[in-house]
Each structure stands twice: as structure tokens, then as C-alpha cells.
Structure 1
Amino acid sequence: MNFSKSLYTKGIQCSKALWLKKYNKEVLTTPDATVLAHFETGNVVGNLASKLFPNGLEVTYDASNFNNMVETTKQWMDEGLEYIYEATFLYDDILILVDVLKSTPDGVEIYEVKSSSSVKEIHLHDVSIQKYVLEQLGYTVTSSNIVHIDSSYVRGDELDLNRLFRVINVSNEVNALQVDIPQRLKEFETCLSDHENEPDIDIGAHCNRPYACDAKDYCWRTQRNIPDYSVFNIFNLGSKKQIELYKQGIVRIENIPDDLSMTPIQKQKVDNWKSQVSYIDKENIKAFLDTLTYPIYHLDFETFQQAVPEWEGMSPYQQIPFQYSLHIEHEDGTLEHKKFLGADSIDPRYNLARRLIEDIPRDVTVLAYNMSFEKGVNVKLAESFEEFSEHLLAINENMKDLMYPFQKQYYVMPEMQGSYSIKYVLPALIPEMAQAYKELDGIQNGSDAMNAFPRLSSMEVLEKEKTRNALLEYCKLDTLAMVKILERLKELNEENV
């Protein structure tokens, strides 16, 4: 069958996705920069976790000769090596690589390393197929374990691997899964034995669980012509009403029956889409605008995360601010722009916090879009740098949320597709601004920025300079977009006078 543990877990999620991966991978979505960065994080975490099991040897990966990897593993086990990294085994055309294999007098122990901060169900299936193969080959598996990041860990001067990682014994859960594996493998073998006919499996909640499937665009858009904005945006995927409508062949919002029972928010979204007419609550928009005083400081942070905290006082996956843009809007309409972009290879937080309190006075209106994020960044900075704490928290006290009028449904356009995310609000209100993002060179969204900054230190001089300029231009556009959205709200207010 030429199977692997990654194909096994893909089949657990959806056997159609498994078939496509084997026979029609051209229809699968190509991994983007975020996915690739996640893979790289997994490699880094795996290499670091192996240090918890010292004095072992790693089987060199060779995609052209797995048999050699299997033979190397067996040789080292026969020689009595305690720890083997990427230990490789093959049974009945099922190939597994064990992150860390420990040999003991009583048998072997499995350690599967994950870069996540908890044990997930799919991880148990991953380990379960490893245990199955090992036992079919005659080994006794005495324990099955998952090694994952402990997000509560706070780094000191040195990295403490014993506190960074948690080792969780999942033997009971993995043992309970063994009984189903032979039947699952038969089902997968039957699925893959037909090279010509793609399995007929409908879409559903499994398309997003445990991961967004790389076949989703093919199954949803290409095969079923489900529009970007559909009943699945109105009702939760897998909910009773969504399933009921889908079974009736209703996926377009305009086809939802008028007498269908819905919550007020759901009904407003449906009515707004059907009528293709914008809803504007000018009175409440005016009330929001009246809470703002000039000058208005439009603020946007860019952050990134590290699975392994590089600097003292940081925790795994903590949001690390490395950049901000600040457009200062005066009452006469003039704009000032201030910016900060941290140097690569050093902790950017201290210098960012110091510059931020220089650029933003304590008692001015600060405007953010989804201010809970900017507030959260400031709180973390205040906790880390006591000398700036009072000023940073004062900034939070005067912060307003530009998302509020859209979140509260004071301004609803069909083009917003029922969302108050700036991703939908901006192109609906100011289409030319959305186009401006597409014309940016290199960095066009937050994910691009988040992935680019940690890579600066490994870039050549010219590439680094280009990337830093791209980061500055992108973040600058973010706060300019906020200025333009506020401008549109003020135009509505003036029309009301």
C-alpha cells in the first residue's frame, strides 16, 4: 500500500483527502508561507526536544532509500543504543519514523514530539500507528508518550528544556485505539486500490478538523461551486440548520427561505444580502464619533511568535511586537506618520516600548481596529518593563476601537459578507485601499509580515533592506486604511447634519 503515518492521520480526517494526496495532488492547495513556517518550527522543536534524550543517534533521512534507514535503525538497536532519533520501521508497506525511540530491557518507548502547546486527538492517532507497526514487527511497546511545548514556561537567562517541554504518557489512550487500526487500514487500502475513481465523500465539519484540509478549495469551490459567502457563513459548519439547508440543496444565501427560524443577527445578515442594500445607523455612528477627540493616534502593531522563546522573560507563543505604525490625524485633516521597526536578531520589545511612549502622549485618543489585540500587547509590555508600565497602561485607558461600529452592526454592507473584520470592511468601504495592498511588493498581509521578520537575520544585505522597506510600507498602509475608514464614517455623520 506504500503508506506512512502522515497518510494515516490524513485518512483519519478524510479518506478522500488521502486518495487525492496519493493520486491527484495537483488539486490540493499549495502550502503558503504560514504553513511552511509551521513545518520549520516543527523541525526546530523536534531537534531541540531530542536533547531531552541525550547521547542518541539520528537516522539520516533518505527519501530514495528507506530500506537503508530501516537497516540503520535495526543495527543500532542490536548494538544496544538507548536513544535513536527518527527511528525507522517498515511493516506491510507501512513506513513510520519515530521521533525518539528508547530501548529498555523490557521493550521500547515511543516519544512523539509536537510543537503544539497541548495533546490533540490527532496526535494520539499518530502515535497509535507507530505502536501498531512496532508490535506487528515483534517489539514490545512499554509506553507511548507525546512531548509538547509548555506555554506557561517563562524563560530565564538560559533555556531550560525540562521546563520548556512536557512529556505526557498517553499509553492508555493509544492502547485503546489499537483495536480499530486493522479495520481502518483495510478501509484505506480499499480506498487506495481504485486508482481511477475518486471517493464520493461529502463536505462537512471534517473539512476543518483537526486541520483545514488542503483539499477544501477543490471540494467546496471546484466540485460543488459553493460561493465565498454562503449558508456556511451564516450558520456554523455542522450546525442543525446548516445541515438541514445543505441537505435541501440550499447553499446560496439568497435561497434561504424567508420563514426559516434564525437569530436576529443571522436574519439581519440574510436580509442584508438578499436586499443588496446597505444598512446604516447614523445616530449610533455619530455617538461613536463623538467619543473621539483630536488629535487621533491611529495605531497598529505587527507581532510574531516563537515556539522556543529566544529572550529572557518570554513564554512560548507569546505575541512579540516588532513593529508599529502610527498615523496622527489632526482636526484640520493633516496627517503625521511615525513608525518603528525593530532590529533583527535582538529582542525588539524594549526599544519598541520606549519609542511608543515617546510617540504617544498619555492623554490622547488612540484608535485601533480590534483594540483588544493592541491593548494585550501593551499589557505584556507593561508587565515586562516596569519603567514604561504607567504610560503604556495610560495609553490603553484612552484607546477606542474602530471596529466597534461594524461589530455592533451600525454599518452593514452586503460586500462585508456578514463580517466586521477589516479584511472585509476595508474593500467594501474603500475598494481602492484594498487594491493598494495587492500592489505592495513582498509584504501584503499580517501573515507575510509575521513570517518575514524572524527571517531577516538570515538574509543577505540587499534582501534584508528590501524586506525591511516592505514591512514599513505594509504597516504604514494599515494605519492609513484606518484613517480612510474613519473618514468614511465622518462623511456619513456630515451627511446627517
Structure 2
Amino acid sequence: MNFSKSLYTKAIQCPKALWLKKYKKEILTPPDATALARFETGNVVGELACKLFPNGREVIYNPDDFNSMVETTKQWMDDGLEYIYEATFIYEGILVLVDVLKITPNGLEIYEVKSSSSVKDIYLHDVSIQLYVLKQLGHSVIRSNVVHIDNSYVRGDELDLNELFKIVDVSDEVNALQVEIPKRLEEFEIYLADRDNEPDIDIGSHCNKPYECDAKEYCWRVQRKIPEYSMFNIFNLGSKKQIELYEQGIVNIEDISDDYPVTAIQKQKVQNWKEQATYIDKEKIKDFLDTLSYPIYHLDFETFQQAIPEWKGISPYQQIPFQYSLHIEHEDGRLEHKEFLAIDGIDLRFELAKKLVKDIPTDVTVLAYYMSFEKGVIENLAKLYDELSSHLREINENVCDLIVPFKKQYYMTPLMKGSNSIKDVLPALVPEMKQAYKDLVGIKNGGEAMNAFPKLSSMSPDEKEETRNALLEYCKLDTLAMVEVLKKLKEVVND
């Protein structure tokens, strides 16, 4: 059996995913920009973590000759090297690469490096298969560890690796998993031995846990023809009612019986879909609109994260604002647009905050969609800059949330697919805006914006200019979209 620790953890989530990865990989959904950025972050974090274990040597990765990697590892262990990075071992076709292997007089220590901010259950399975292989090869492993980012760390003038990383001893957990491994491997081998017959494993909560499976589109849409909006959008995946309905063969919302016990909100969603009806509570929408006063400042931030904080005062994975768009809507319908986009490579949060207080007075309505995000960004800026904090906090006091009419279901339409997310609300209320996003060049969503900004420093001048223009156009469209959604709400009230 040719196996690796990544295939082992994939099989832990779903053996069918393992089989598809081996024999039908063309059906798998390729990683998107966010996933690719996550992989890249993992590599950077892994390299940096090695500095916690100095004076080691790295086994150079060679996918065409793993045996040579094994031999190099053995040679360095025999030479008495204390730390080996990417130490490589094979047992009965099972290949494992240990991020950091420590060789001590009493035995070996395993260190698995992760870019996340906690120890997840799947990491224990990852370490457990490494431990299994080493033990089967006759090595004595005295400690197994997961090294992860400590997101409570705040960078000072210099980066402190001992504060940035946490080393967690997971020996007890992975030792307890050892008894299950032979049986699991036997099960996985049986699946892989039958390359002509795809495993018949049903969909379920495992399709999303611990990660969304790259075969989900195939299993759900292609094989089972589950529509884009289905019973699964009404009931949470893995919930008692969802499981009960699925076991009865009910997937389509129209097949849910009228007397099936549901909450009032669920009942309204089911009824609206069956009737293909739009529900509008004009009075409550009017009450919401009456809370707004002109001019209305439509605000949207774009942020990015640094797993390894580059600037003083930053924590790992903290949302760092680098851009905003502001559409100012006057009572007569006139629009003004203001914007800010940071220069790459330096900390320009203060410049952003200064521009924000210049652009937004303290006594106006500020409108955001899912305001907790925008308010969180502003509050963090207020904590950083005392001279601007009073103005920033007054802005925050005046922030209203455009999500309210949809979250509270004053406006419901089947086209929203039971969601109050702007990505579903916008095309349902303002269909022409969907095409506007499609027409964007380079950057079409927040994930792409978040991934693009940190890469600006490594781009050529022409590519950088194109990307900056794309960032500006995308963020500008986000606040224009809010203007259009608000306009639609005003129209339904006045009809």
C-alpha cells in the first residue's frame, strides 16, 4: 500500500474521499485562492518554526525518490544530529515526513507544525500515524507534540518566536489512538484494493468536518442531484431534523410535509419556497429606514491577516484594514465616492484612520452590511491611536446595519435561498449587480482581495498597478451594492 499521512487524514474524514483522490482525482474541486494562500502560509510558518530548533538540517523533498530521503534521515540520525527537518520514514508503503524530529539519548521527539491557532482533532490523527510508523520501525518515541501559533501574542519591536509559537504535548492523545490504526489501515486498504468500484458512502456532516471536502460538489450535485437550494439550507447539516428528513428520502423543500414540526422561521422559509412567494413587511422596513438620516455614509473595509505579524502591535491572524470604500448618499440621490488603499509593505493603519476621520463626520449615519465587522475594525483603530479615538468611537456610535431587514426577515424571497448574506441578498434584489461583479477584472470577491494585497510587494510595477486598480474597483462596487440594496428597500415601501 502506498500511503502518506495526508492521505491518512483524508481517509479519516471519509474513505470515499481517499478513493477518489487515488483513482478519480479529475472530479475534485481544485483549491481556490484562499486555500492556496492557506497552504503558502503553512509553508512559511513551518520554515519559521524550525528556528525554534536551531542547527538542524532539512531533508530535501524529492517526490521521485523517497527512499533517498529515508536514507538521508537515517544517516543523519546515525551521525548524531539533534534536529532533522522533514525527517522521512517508510513502513510497509506508508510514508511520513516529520516536520521536526528531535534525537535525544532517551529516544525521539516528534514536532508537527501547524499554522492554526489551536490543536484540532485531525492534527492528533496526523501525529498518530507518524508515531505509528516510527514505532513499527523500532524507534522509541518519548514525546509527541503539536506546534501552533499563539494568537494572543502581540508583537513588540522584534519577533519573539518563543512567544509566537505554542508547543503542546499531545503524547497521551496520540498514544491512545495507536490501537485503532491497524484496523483503520486495513479498512482503507480494502477500499483502495478495489479500484473499479467507487465506495458507496453517503453524504453527511463529514463532508464539511474538519474541512470542506474537495469531492463535495461531485458527491452532492453530480451524484445525488441535490439542488443548490434544498432542505439542507433550511436545517443545519447533521442536525436531528436534517438527518430525519434525509433518511426519509426528502431533499427538496417542496417535499417537506406541511405538518412537519419546524420553528416559525423554518416554516416561513419552507412556505415561501413552496409558494415561490416574496414576503415583505413594509411597516417594519419603514421603521428601519426611519432610523437612517441623510447623508448616509455607506462604508466597507477590506482587511488581511498575517500569521506571522510583521509590525509592532499586531497579533497573529488579526484583521488588518488596508482599504475602505465610502459612498455618500444624499437625500436627493446624489452620490459622492471616497476611498483609501494603503501602500503595500508598510503599516499604514494610522494613515487609514486619519483619512477615515477626515471623510466621515461624527454626526452622520454610517451604514454597513454586517456591521460588527466594520465596528470591530474601527474600535481596534480607536484603541491604537489616542488622538483619533474620540472621533472614531463617535463614528462607531452612528453605525447602522443594512442586514437587519433581511436577518429579521422583513424581506424574504426564494431567490435569497434562505440566506441574509450580501452575496445572496444582492442578486435577489438587484439582479443587474450580479453581472457587475462578473465584469470585474482580477478581483471579484473579498477572499481574492485579502489574498492579493499582501502579494503587492512581490509584483512587477505593471502587475502592481493592475492589482491596485482591481482592488479599488472591487471595494467601490461593494459600497455601491449597498446603495442599490437600500434603494430597493425604499422602493418596496413606497409601492
Question: TM-score, normalised on structure 2?
Answer: 0.99
| Counterpart-to-counterpart distance in 1, 2:44 and 2:104 | 27
Q: 1:444-481: per-residue Cα shift (whole Å, max 9, x none)?
A: 00001011001100100101000000000000000000
- Compute the displacement of 1:386 (Å): 1.4
> Aligned to 1:74, what secondary structure does the other structure show?
helix
Equivalent AA in structure 2 for residue 169 of structure 1: D
- Alpha-carbon distance in structure 2 between the residues aligned to 1:389 and 1:145: 42
The aligned residue for residue 479 of structure 1 is 479
Secondary structure of 1:310's aligned partner: coil
Which position in structure 2 is the counterpart of 1:296?
Answer: 296
CA offsets 1:258-287 (integer angstroms, 9 cap, x no match): 110000010011011111110000001111
Aligned residue for 1:154, secondary structure, equals coil
Once the two structures are superposed, residues 288-328 of structure 1 have per-residue CA deviations (whole angstroms, 9 ceiling, x without a partner) of 11111111000000011111111100100000100000000
Partner of 1:493: 493
* Structure-1 residue corresponding to 2:84: 84
Secondary structure, aligned partner of 1:130: helix
Look up the match of 1:210. Answer: 210
- Cross-structure match for 1:281: 281
Cα shift readout 1:328-375 (whole Å, capped 9, x = no counterpart): 011111000000000000113111111000000011100000101000
SS at match of 2:297: strand
Counterpart of 1:343?
A: 343
Please give the secondary structure, in 1, of the residue aligned with 2:26.
helix
Equivalence for 1:258: 258
What code does the residue aligned with 2:422 have? I
Report the residue type matching 1:258 in the other structure: D
Note the 1:58-77 alignment, pairs <5 A. Answer: 58-77=58-77
- Looking at structure 2, the residues matched to 426 and 447 of structure 1 have their Cα atoms a distance apart, in angstroms, of 18
Tell me which amino acid in the other structure corresponds to 2:86.
E
Work out the CA distance in 1 between the residues paired with 2:244 and 2:105. 57
What CA deviation, in whole Å up to 9, does each residue of 1:53-76 have, x standing for no partner? Answer: 000000001111111111110000
Q: 1:181 aligns to what?
A: 181
Aligned to 2:95, the other structure's residue is in SS state strand
Whole-angstrom distance in 2 between the partners of 1:72 and 1:5: 20
What are the within-5 Å matches in structure 2 for residues 23-422 of structure 1? Answer: 23-422=23-422
- What is the alpha-carbon distance in structure 2 between the residues aligned to residue 90 and residue 285 of structure 1? 64
Deviation at 1:250, TM superposition (A): 0.8
C-alpha distance in structure 2 between counterparts of 1:247 and 1:182, whole Å: 32
Secondary structure of 1:99's aligned partner: strand
Mapped to 2, the partners of 1:442 and 1:23 lie a distance apart of 34
C-alpha distance in 1, partners of 2:440/2:486? 22
Q: Which amino acid aligns with 1:102?
A: K
Question: For each residue in 1:380-405, what CA deviation from the matched residue of structure 2 results, as whole angstroms up to 9, or x when unmatched?
Answer: 11111111111111100001101111
Partner Cα distance (1:491, 1:198) in 2: 53
SS in 2 for 1:297: strand
RMSD across aligned C-alpha pairs, in angstroms? 0.6
Read off the aligned partner of 1:476 and give its amino acid letter.
K
Q: Distance in 1 between matches of 2:340 and 2:291?
A: 28
Displacement, 1:493?
A: 2.1
Amino acid paired to 2:92: D
Q: Could you tell me how far 1:494 is from its partner in structure 2?
A: 2.0
* Cα shift at 1:249: 1.1
Secondary structure of 2:154's counterpart equals: coil
Structure 2 letter corresponding to 1:340: F
Shift, 1:241, TM fit: 1.2
SS at match of 1:323: strand
SS at match of 2:303: strand
Partners of 2:37 and 2:299 in 1: how far apart? 27
Deviations 1:96-128 (A, max 9, x none): 000000000011000000000000000000000
Match of 1:460 in 2: 460
Q: 3-state DSSP class of the match of 1:363?
A: coil
Q: C-alpha displacement at 1:244, in angstroms?
A: 1.3
Equivalent positions of 1:425-444 (< 5 A) are 425-444=425-444
- Provide the C-alpha distance between the structure 2 equivalents of 1:67 and 1:284, rounded to a whole number of angstroms: 69
Unpaired runs of 5+ residues, structure 2, are none
* 1:3 and 2:3 matched: yes
User: Between the two proteins, what is the percent identity of the paired residues?
Assistant: 74
Deviating beyond 3 angstroms after TM superposition, the runs of 4 or more aligned structure 1 residues are none
Write out per-residue CA displacement over residues 2-54 of structure 1, whole angstroms, 9 at most, x where no aligned residue. Answer: 10000000000000000000010001000110000000000000000000000
Q: How many angstroms apart in 1 are the aligned matches of 2:217 and 2:230?
A: 14
- Distance, in Å, in 2 between the alignment partners of 1:102 and 1:369 is 50
SS of residue in 2 equivalent to 1:61: coil
Post-superposition offset of 1:419: 0.7
Paired with 1:39 and 1:24, the residues of 2 have a C-alpha distance of 23
Q: Distance in 1 between matches of 2:178 and 2:98?
A: 17
Counterpart CA distance in 2 for 1:212 and 1:11 is 13
Q: Distance in 1 between matches of 2:146 and 2:123?
A: 8
- Paired position in structure 1 for 2:448: 448
- Describe the SS at the equivalent of 2:39: helix
Matched residue type, 1:357:
V
Separation in 2 of the partners of 1:321 and 1:194? 51
Amino acid at match of 1:232: F
Query: Gaps (5+ residues) in structure 1?
Result: none
Aligned residues: 495
1:395-440, Cα deviation, whole Å (9 max, x unpaired): 0000110111111100001100111110110000000001100110
* 1:424 has 2:424 as partner: yes
Letter in 2 for 1:314: I
